[in-house]
Every structure is written in structure tokens, then in C-alpha cells.
């Protein structure tokens, strides 16, 4: 696994990591929960600081979705601790989730987070992992572009709705231009199912633009 970016649908690599909250074994530590692992290039940098504040300010919203957060960079644990102290003292925000200290780069290497043309720092990556330890989404951002934490929250909500109802999630859900807060019913794979879809649409059970594009409201 070393040096290769894990793929969607794969089990998150088994890693024992040192964090600001002590040693943690991934993904076992978060068994039964979703978790978001996000890497940042370095402590005491402006863009990373804005991201950490954003994650912390939405931490309770993540928790409401049975989701935990864990950060990572190639810094020593004392650097993380001092940076967290600085954020609390100067910005009035207490970072309550753990941060992985990866000063030897082993974790970053296992997750494919070091890109040769970006120096030796970790890129801004996001791994969304489900309660079974399966990687459901991977996002990569360049060092110069900060992430949108609200989009990561939306992804978690979308995955949970998709898993519960067996549906797909449209663009910018729940504020899609075509279907609003509805979700997409999986396309019919045979003629009989296509016919059933149109009958359900006539009965008001679902709404369809055509047999292959149906949508519905879920709670």
C-alpha cells in the first residue's frame, strides 16, 4: 500500500498513529462511525489555520451525523500542540479533534499524500470513511486552495441518505436546480422496471421527467 493512493471502495489502511490525543489505531478507533481524515501542508500556516477553525466550528454538526474528524500533517506532535494552543489563544477556537503527527512521513506515504511536484509537504487531501472502514470519497486540493468544509458535511449527509434509501444524490443537493431537495431513483435496468416507474409516476409515488430520470422526496 505504501506510496499508492487508496481507491474508493477499499478498506482504509490499518495504521497506528500518534496524535494530539495519544496513539490511535485506524480505522478501528472509529469503528461504527464515519470519519473524515484531512491532511494539511503544515502547522502555523494561514490557509490551514482557516480550515481548522472551519472544521472545529462545524464539529458538532459532524458529530450529529455520527462522524468524527482527524487531521494530519508532517509535523511533530509538539508543533501540533503549540499550534492548537495558538489558535485557542489568538482566535478563541478550541480544536477538539485529534491531529496526527507524521514527522517521519509514514502515514502520508501510505495514503499517497506526498506529491513530488509539491515538495515534501502533504497535499490537502480528504478521506471520507464509512462505519465499516470503507473509503467512500477522496478529495485532493492544491496547497494554494483551501477546502469548503460545508461541502464535506453535505457529502456525509448525501452518503447516509443514499445508503439508507438506495438512491443517488443530485448536484448541489438538497438545493438542486431541477429536483430541489428530492433524490434520484436509480435508473431502470429492464423494460418491465421502466414501465413500473412510469406507473408509479402516474400514481404520484415518484416524479419522472422520463422513465430513466425519476426522483422522489425522502425523510
The answer to whether residue 48 is catalytic is yes
b/e map of 110-138 (b: 16 or more CB within 10 Å)? bbbbbbeeeeebbbbbbbbbbbebebbbb
Asked whether the beta carbons of 65 and 56 are under 8 A apart, the reply is no
Query: What is each CA distance from 35 to 92, 133, 153, 208, in whole angstroms?
Result: 25, 9, 11, 35
Chain-centroid distance of CA 66 in Å reads: 13
Structure-block grid coordinates of residue 203? 400514481
Return phi, psi of residue 16, to 5°. Answer: -100, 120
Which residues are bridge partners to 15 per DSSP? 26
First to last CA, the chain: 39
121's CB contacts (< 8 A; 6+ apart) are 41, 42, 73, 74, 114, 143
What DSSP line would sit under 103-133, residue for residue?
Answer: TT-HHHHHTT-B-GGGTTSBPEEEEEE-TTS
Q: Which of 48, 84, 149, 167 is catalytic?
A: 48
Asked whether the beta carbons of 98 and 19 are under 8 A apart, the reply is yes
Instruction: List residues with catalytic annotation.
Output: 48
Amino acid at each position: 500500500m505504501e506510496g499508492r493512493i487508496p481507491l474508493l471502495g477499499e478498506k482504509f489502511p490499518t495504521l497506528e498513529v500518534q496524535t494530539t490525543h495519544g496513539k490511535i489505531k485506524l480505522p478501528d478507533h472509529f469503528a461504527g462511525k464515519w470519519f473524515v481524515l484531512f491532511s494539511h501542508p503544515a502547522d502555523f500556516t494561514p490557509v490551514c489555520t482557516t480550515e481548522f477553525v472551519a472544521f472545529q466550528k462545524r464539529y458538532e454538526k459532524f458529530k450529529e451525523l455520527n462522524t468524527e474528524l482527524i487531521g494530519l500533517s508532517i509535523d511533530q506532535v509538539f508543533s501540533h500542540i503549540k499550534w492548537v494552543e495558538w489558535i485557542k489563544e489568538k482566535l478563541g477556537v478550541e480544536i477538539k479533534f485529534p491531529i496526527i503527527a507524521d514527522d517521519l512521513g509514514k502515514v502520508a506515504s501510505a495514503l499517497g499524500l506526498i506529491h513530488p511536484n509539491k515538495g515534501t509537504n502533504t497535499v490537502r487531501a480528504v478521506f471520507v470513511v464509512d462505519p465499516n472502514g470503507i473509503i467512500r470519497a477522496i478529495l485532493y486540493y492544491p496547497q494554494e486552495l483551501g477546502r469548503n468544509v460545508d461541502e464535506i458535511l453535505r457529502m456525509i449527509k448525501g452518503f447516509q441518505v443514499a445508503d439508507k434509501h438506495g438512491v443517488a444524490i443530485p448536484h448541489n443537493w438538497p438545493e438542486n436546480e431541477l429536483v430541489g431537495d428530492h433524490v434520484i431513483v436509480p435508473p431502470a435496468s429492464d423494460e418491465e422496471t421502466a414501465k413500473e416507474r412510469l406507473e408509479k409516476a402516474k400514481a404520484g409515488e415518484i416524479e419522472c421527467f422520463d422513465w430513466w430520470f425519476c426522483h422522489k422526496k425522502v425523510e
